[in-house]
Amino acid sequence: MSKITVIRGDDVTLNATFKDENGTAINITGYTVFFTVKSDLTATTDTGALISKTITGHSSPTTGQTTVSLTSTDTNLAEGNYYYDFQTKDGSNKISSTDRGTFVVKTDVTRRIS
């Protein structure tokens, strides 16, 4: 499991590279990538997801690379540990979970934006 750490209220860009079981980057042209953050792993649907992103345009699809942009609104969560995962859906609608881990939100110090 991996760990992603963000500061509450920050705009964050996550870069992800998708690889096969041998560690070789896969071509994700035509894939949909789902990124989800939840506070509860027992939830049976994504309706309670704290962050839910669907990515269809990738930064370098032939080398398995995509970018997930999180806004300050997305990361405006209470300080704590949450859970995330990435899933892919290929052109034949095959779903694969590719990475999961802990999504850590740290408290920000500065609150002003101007």
User: For the chain, what are the domain ranges?
Assistant: 2-13+30-58+70-104
Question: Tell me, what's the pLDDT at 1?
Answer: 52
What is the amino acid identity at position 81?
N
- Full 3-state SS string of 82-103: EEEEEEEECCCCCEEEEEEEEE
7-20 b/e (C-beta count within 10 Å ≥ 16 → b): bbbeeeeeebebee
pLDDT confidence of residue 26: 93
Element housing 53 (H / E): strand 51-55
**Tens digit of pLDDT per residue, the chain (114 long)?**
589 999 999 999 999 999 988 999 999 999 999 999 999 888 778 888 999 999 999 999 999 999 999 999 999 999 999 999 999 999 999 999 888 999 999 998 887 776
Residue 97, strand partner residues: 87
Torsion sign (Cα): 31, 1, 25, 50: positive
Cross-strand partners of 51:
37
User: Which residue in 92, 65, 71, 55 sits closest to 11, CA to CA?
Assistant: 71
